[in-house]
Amino acid sequence: MKTRITMAKKSLLVRAGIFVCLGSMATGCDSGELSASEALKTNADRKFAETYKPPPKKPIPDSVLAPPSEAEFKAWDRVDPAGEKHLYKWDKKNAAKMQNYWKQLICYRDKIKGEGTKAMTAEPMTPEAEYWDQFKSAFIPFVNRWQQRLQANEPRIMEKSKVMGSIFEVHELIINGYPKAFNNKDKVALQKTEAQYLLATDKVMKYWGRVGASFPDMDLDNPKKQAKWEKFCVDAMKEPKKGPKKVRKKTSI
């Protein structure tokens, strides 16, 4: 009988404790002891704080670079013993072909310069201005196709020839520099374009002398050479016909 009363009292006390906790949810019902998950978390935080060592601070790099050493400077400034000798050999061997390209560019430069000089003084909406517009619309694509054919026939020409850089430079002046200066009637731009052309010409002529392939004499005061040069430029203005050449078959009688 005593046992039953004792068990009933314990049950009432447990229920009273649950009601007390439920009634005090706003302030929390804490027995003062940590739960298992909280204890694990606390231990982990304590161990991390005891074992953690911050990484060493790296110095902030300075924006000012140290000057090159003597060894580095000599390595950068060295001269390749082979150098561009393979380019010199190729240009000397193919001098006639490369000089022919250059002479064609001279013809194109003289042509657009002659027509553009007339356009500099032409009034808008005049026959002279209309002729300039029609001329450049046909001539610039023609010169551009000339360059495309050159690269198609010589797909690796930039790797073989040193003079090709100057050829492409003058080609750009013909299709872009001169036309833009004449369009805007800009004498200063025309002078700059002329200076670039003369510098490229001087560089190329010195190069031919260096490789031992002198440029042919172009003394246009000589009537025979003048006539020969004019014929060369006339042929340079002709665009090759498309398609393979037709070969006539011999017929037996």
- Whether residue 49 is predicted with pLDDT greater than 90 in this model: the reply is no
Global confidence as pTM: 0.64
- In a domain, residue 144? The reply is yes
- In a domain, residue 136? The reply is yes
The rounded percent of the chain whose pLDDT value lies above 90 is: 44
Do the beta carbons of residue 99 and residue 216 sit within 8 Å?
yes
* φ, ψ at 182 (rounded to 5°): -70, -35
- In a domain, residue 14? The reply is no
Which of 97, 103, 108 shows the shortest CA–CA distance to 217? 103
Interaxial angle between packed helices 187-211 and 85-93, expressed in degrees from 0 to 180 and rounded to the nearest 10: 90
- In a domain, residue 243? The reply is no
pLDDT of residue 20: 44
How long a stretch of residues is the chain?
253
Which of 92, 86, 62 shows the shortest CA–CA distance to 213? 92
| Residues 77, 83, 87, 91, CA torsion sign | positive
pLDDT of residue 31: 53
CA 228, CA 57: separation in Å to the nearest integer?
79
Q: Report residue 52's pLDDT band, with 50, 70 and 90 as the boundaries.
A: confident
Count CA atoms closer than 13 A to 142's CA, side-chain side. Answer: 19
- In a domain, residue 46? The reply is no
pLDDT of residue 187: 93
- Whether residue 24 is predicted with pLDDT greater than 50 in this model: the reply is no
Using CB atoms within 10 Å of the CB of residue 72, give its burial: 0 to 12 exposed, 13 to 18 middle, 19+ buried.
exposed
pLDDT tens digits, one per residue of 60-116: 766 677 777 888 777 776 666 666 788 889 999 999 999 999 999 999 999 999 999
How many domains does the chain contain in total?
1
Q: Report residue 2's pLDDT band, with 50, 70 and 90 as the boundaries.
A: very low
- In a domain, residue 18? The reply is no
Q: Report residue 6's pLDDT band, with 50, 70 and 90 as the boundaries.
A: low
Q: Where are the alpha helices (DSSP H) in 29-121?
A: 36-51, 70-76, 85-93, 95-120
- In a domain, residue 50? The reply is no
- Whether residue 252 is predicted with pLDDT greater than 70 in this model: the reply is no
By residue range, what is the domain housing residue 156? 85-236
Region 23-44 average pLDDT = 61
- In a domain, residue 94? The reply is yes
